């Protein structure tokens, strides 16, 4: 929805670079999240992990199953870029409710932060979404700073 417009403005090379940076930011944030979630296990002298009392697996097998797959970090990065480029454009929430892009982006990121902190087992990488948005924010701010010099 937003990628086509952003690519037309930035060009394909800059757009691809942006997507790669947001993907790496999402991956890094998710790995940091896993580290802090399981730091006692990672740093501890454990050999096995008890999974809900029903199965015991080795520490390495448990840590190797922590995978995150998807492009949602890039999507959040693109959403953030669109919100920064066109903050006063309207997005229609559920095709009915008009909301300015800047408020939509801020609200959606706050919802992701809330869900990441208070929801533990929904299978969604909320902090990867935020990592993609944060990496995108840094890159857009860097590009803005360079273009003003």
Mean pLDDT computed over every residue of the chain: 88
28 has a pLDDT exceeding 90: yes
Between residues 119 and 129, the one the model is more confident about? 129
- pLDDT for 36: 85
Crossing angle, helix 72-85 and helix 126-148, to 10 degrees?
A: 40
Name the pLDDT band for 48 (thresholds 50, 70, 90): confident
- pLDDT for 27: 92
Are 13 and 117 contacting, i.e. CB atoms less than 8 angstroms apart? no
Alpha carbons 4 and 41: distance in angstroms, whole number: 43
Name the residue ranges covered by the structural domains of the chain. Answer: 3-148
Alpha carbons 75 and 2: distance in angstroms, whole number: 9
Cβ contacts of residue 67 below 8 Å, gap of 6+? none
Model's pTM, two decimal places? Answer: 0.84
- pLDDT for 12: 95
């Amino acid at each position: 929805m937003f990628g086509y417009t952003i690519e037309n403005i930035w060009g394909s090379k800059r757009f691809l670079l942006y997507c790669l940076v947001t993907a790496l930011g999402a991956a890094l944030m998710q790995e940091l999240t896993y580290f802090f979630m399981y730091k006692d296990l990672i740093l501890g002298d454990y050999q096995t992990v008890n999974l809900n009392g029903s199965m015991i697996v080795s520490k390495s097998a448990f840590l190797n199953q922590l995978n995150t797959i998807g492009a949602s970090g890039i999507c959040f990065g693109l959403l953030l870029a669109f919100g920064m480029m066109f903050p006063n454009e309207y997005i229609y929430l559920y095709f009915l409710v008009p909301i300015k892009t800047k408020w939509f982006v801020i609200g959606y990121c706050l919802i992701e932060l809330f869900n990441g902190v208070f929801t533990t087992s929904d299978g969604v990488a909320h902090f990867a979404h935020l990592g993609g948005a944060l990496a995108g924010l840094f890159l857009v701010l860097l590009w803005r700073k360079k273009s003003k010099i």
